[in-house]
Amino acid sequence: MRKLKKIPAYNLQEILIVLVIIGILLLLALPNLMPLISKAKSIEAQTQLKYIYNSQTTYRYMYSKYSNDLNELDFVPPKTVKENGSGNYIYEILNASNASFKIRATAITDFDGDGIFNVWEIDESGNPKEIVKD
């Protein structure tokens, strides 16, 4: 009869202990990472608002007024996560006149689970401002 050779390996208890330690480290690190996650997701709103600002400026040069309709600006918002897309914000023009405009980006998901939704706005000055911090 052939002798079976033992292969060095980890047993089930050792693997479970390592997984528990990794889980505990994740639970300790996750609250510290939430502000970074919120900040990274808010870059979407800032980028889209800057694009809308540039489109509004071009529209004003052509028609001597700002537009009240995102479709006139050729702005197609990204599909939101609720629509199986990757967008986290909805965009709306609050007001637009011959001399000024204000556009808002409102988060549709609560990034850190505290019940507060992130809101950004931009106006004719071109600087996105965080109105409600998540």
**pLDDT, tens digit (0-9, with 9 covering 90-100), for 83-121:** 999 899 999 999 999 999 999 999 998 887 788 899 999
Any idea which residue has 């889980």 for tokens?
23
Single-letter residue type at 84: N
Cβ atoms within 10 Å of 75's Cβ, excluding its own: 17
pLDDT at 67: 94
Nearest one of 110, 40, 39, 47 to 75, comparing CA atoms: 47
From first CA to last CA, the distance across the chain in angstroms is: 69
pLDDT at 72: 93
- What are the residues whose beta carbons fall under 8 Å from the beta carbon of 10, sequence distance 6 or more? none
**pLDDT, tens digit (0-9, with 9 covering 90-100), for 51-75:** 999 999 999 999 999 999 999 999 9
The residues spanned by each domain of the chain are 41-132
The pTM of this model reads 0.75
- What are the residues whose beta carbons fall under 8 Å from the beta carbon of 52, sequence distance 6 or more? 70, 73, 75, 91, 103, 122
Alpha-carbon span 84 to 86, nearest angstrom: 7
Alpha-carbon span 89 to 107, nearest angstrom: 4
pLDDT at 1: 62
